[in-house]
Structure 1
Amino acid sequence: MPAVTADTLTLPRLPELAEPTAWRGVHRIIQGRRFLEGEGFQVRRPFPGVDLSLADPFLLLDHMGAVEYGPGEAKGAPWHPHRGFETVTYIIDGAFEHTDSIGGGGLITNGSTQWMTAGAGILHNEMPPQELVIKGGLFHGVQLWVNLPRELKMVTPRYQDIDAHDATLLSSVDGGALVRVIAGSLAGHDGPGVTYTPITYLHATVSPGAQLAMPWPEDFNAMVYVLSGRGTAGEEDRPLDEGQLAVFGPGTALTVRAAGRQPANSPTGWEILVLGGQPLHEPIARYGPFVMNTRQEIVQAMEDYQAGRLGQIPAEHLAHRTSADERLT
């Protein structure tokens, strides 16, 4: 797993939490379901589900891989529109090439993140680089959709390129866990991602048998998703395995622990995402790549897309245009 690593003994430590602490209990464990996206690549998706309010302000989490592609097997998501939210693509192994209609883009690889604010509207393209298509290879990544509040739905689109080494690196109290802060803040340490909606987004590697305990904003929700390996969530030690999401209840801190023995595909430890944010508590109207507050706003988004008002595909990329036009008519 080439996502940035470091000697935890040299990093700033998370604070030791004094007792009594209002530990967050585990409210629910959700098993990610499998779907096909883009040109036909498989994802595991723990949300949206039956109760999207549990994830608010997040809209979707797609876990891509880990998969070992053979030559000619790698697939992507050709040109398609978005409006009303932000997409955050974090690549752990392998690479994706991103291009969009406002000139943002580049190669996302080995621990780097692209943060695209669709806002008023954007077209973008997410494809494996030709080398991966031709030769095959390991691919593993995550895409998170972050909702925008009503007053920012039509904000000007923007793009952030976050290099793997831009992430803020922290250690657990005993040095048994490496925490990468991608966005938001943890115990006063800020990540590089600039967010409109208040959130915290972390990737942690927890050594076999080690515990990761951290303070968490009381007004944020809290979730832990397992990328690989196995462990337990909460003081009640609820089992949490690859592809599962733990949703925590209220409190001011949370704790997780890696199992003492990890499977072969997780040799460095338990790999988890820790994420949470300030719920928006706003109505959601969604249709495919558009997320707004009302049905009429969705209709307007479709009309704007069909009229070309969400942007134009650069001429050199027209040959790779998606069939989104047909799907949205």
Structure 2
Amino acid sequence: MPAVTVENPLTLPRVVAPADAVPRPVLTVSTAPAGFEGEGFPVRRAFAGINYQFLDPFIMMDQMGEVEYAPGEPKGTPWHPHRGFETVTYLIDGTFVHQDSHGGGGTINDGDTQWMTAGAGLLHIEAPPETLVMSGGLFHGLQLWVNLPAADKMMAPRYQDIGGGQVQLLTSPDGGALLRVIAGELAGHQGPGITHTPITMIHATVRPGAEVTLPWREDFNGLAYVMAGRGAVGADRRPVRTGQTAVFGDGSSLTVRADATQDAKAPDLEVVLLGGRPIREPMAHYGPFVMNSEAELRQAFEDFQRGRLGRVPAVHGMA
């Protein structure tokens, strides 16, 4: 980590918050519980225990790994359905293959992102390729769920394959932070991800002792999840470390600082910054479906059971 980088960040466009920007205070810092997903790969539940009013339009985020698999150990997920939201899979280390019943899919490697709009519903599978299963290796990534407003929940599914080389790279005035804009906009610089719900998603690497203050849309919420390292967030330098999520309050800028001393395994502070315009609609979430009401959830389960969300391709042994 990180997968996408540059030798000299000072060659990149520099981002600075306006002098009159209002710093966002830190409301809470929570620690992600650890668990397992799919066929048994380790995850940290980044948003567990955080009130949805602070997350909206984001639903959940898992940090997958970081884990070094022995030969035969790499795992994925079986075929499963989704409806009513978008999944964003950002791979930092390793290789993952995605396929869905709507015809979307592909392979992502270090620094790549797969953006799947489930919309009205589909089935999909995520798994390491056979070569990686045989060899083993490092696996590390994130999966983020982004809600869709009621008007878009039943739209046709869509798939975006975002190569690591497509992300918008920026830096802080002193070059101490490398900013990868995956989706949305930062200081007039646009990331490649196309979203239905307006959001910004950034992977920032902050060198030891460096600090970055970014302009942040006032109509967006603000979240910072630490994938690795130690640092502080907000003007009052609230301490954060690996596996913790900071929730920011209102304002027009947010600040992240890396501790001067980091662990050998994580030489920099690696943080994901998220912001989005709240949808502010009722949400009913159960398992792989995110709808607006319990009745819509029941309908989603019925449609899945009746095969209306798609069929597993015959290549996987089913008609």
Q: Distance in 1 between matches of 2:22 and 2:157?
A: 39
- For 1:135, the aligned partner's letter is S
> Does the alignment pair 1:15 with 2:24?
no
SS at match of 2:134: helix
Residue 173 of structure 1 deviates from its aligned partner by: 1.3
Query: What residue is the counterpart of 1:112 in the other structure?
Result: 112
SS at match of 1:274: strand
TM-superposed deviation, 1:222 = 0.3
Structure 1 partner of 2:277: 278
Q: Deviations over 1:80-128 (max 9, x none)?
A: 0000000000000001110011111111110000000000001100001
Percent same amino acid among aligned pairs? 59
Matches of 1:212 and 1:96 in 2, distance apart?
32
**2:228 corresponding residue in structure 1:** 228
1:47 maps to 47
Equivalent position SS for 2:302 = helix
Q: State how far apart, in whole Å, the 2-side matches of 1:318 and 1:182 are.
A: 36
Structure 1 equivalent of residue 177 of structure 2 = 177
Aligned residue for 2:62? 62
Q: Distance in 1 between matches of 2:310 and 2:17?
A: 49
User: CA RMSD of the aligned region, Å?
Assistant: 1.2
Matches of 1:25 and 1:50 in 2, distance apart?
Answer: 16
TM-fit CA distance, 1:49: 2.4
Residue equivalent to 1:304: 303
1: distance between equivalents of 2:43 and 2:283? 23
Distance 1:259 1:285 in 2: 40
Letter matched to residue 280 of structure 2: H
Give the secondary-structure state (helix, strand or coil) at the position aligned to 1:47. Answer: coil
User: Which residues of structure 2 form unaligned runs of 5+?
Assistant: none
Q: CA deviation at 1:70?
A: 0.8
Partner residue in 2 for 1:92:
92
Contact 2:17 2:253 in 1 (8 A): no
**In the alignment, is the contact (CA less than 8 A) between 1:48 and 1:59 conserved in 2?**
no
- In structure 1, the residue matched to 2:138 is 138
Name the aligned partner's letter for residue 145 of structure 2: W
Cα deviations across residues 145-174 of structure 1 (Å, max 9, x unaligned)?
Answer: 000001111010000000000000001111
Whether contact under 8 Å (2:21, 2:215) holds in the other structure is no
Q: Distance in 2 between matches of 1:11 and 1:140?
A: 26
Amino acid at match of 1:273: V
Aligned-partner Cα distance in 1 for 2:143–2:46: 12
Q: Distance in 2 between matches of 1:49 and 1:306?
A: 31
Structure 1 position 46, deviation (Å): 2.1
Q: Is this contact kept in 1: 2:32–2:48, CA < 8 A?
A: no
Task: Report SS of the residue matched to 2:219.
Answer: coil
1:292 matched to 2:298: no
* Aligned partners of 1:16 and 1:173 also within 8 Å: no
Scaled by the length of structure 2, what TM-score is found?
0.97
Amino acid at match of 1:312: R
Instruction: Note closer, same or farther for the CA distance 1:119–1:48 as it changes in structure 2 (3 Å cut).
Output: farther
* SS of residue matched to 1:299: helix
2:240 and 2:2 mapped to 1: Cα distance?
23
Structure 1: gaps spanning 5 or more residues: 322-329
CA distance in structure 2 between the partners assigned to 1:144 and 1:253 by the alignment: 23
CA contact (8 A) 1:67 1:140 kept: yes
Structure 1 residue 74 and structure 2 residue 74: aligned?
Answer: yes
- Following TM superposition, the consecutive aligned residue runs of length 4 or more in structure 1 with deviations greater than 6 angstroms are none
CA shift for structure 1 position 50: 5.0
Cα–Cα, structure 1 residues 153 and 79, in superposed 2: closer, same or farther, change >3 Å? same
Query: 1:17: how far off?
Result: 2.8
Asked if 1:219 corresponds to 2:213, the answer is: no
Displacement of 1:15 in angstroms is 2.7
The code of the aligned residue for 1:54 comes to F
Matched, 1:5 2:40: no
Aligned pair in 2 of structure 1 residues 131, 288: CA closer, same or farther (>3 Å)?
same
Secondary structure at the counterpart of residue 298 of structure 1? helix
Mapped contact 2:108–2:114 kept (Cα < 8 A): yes
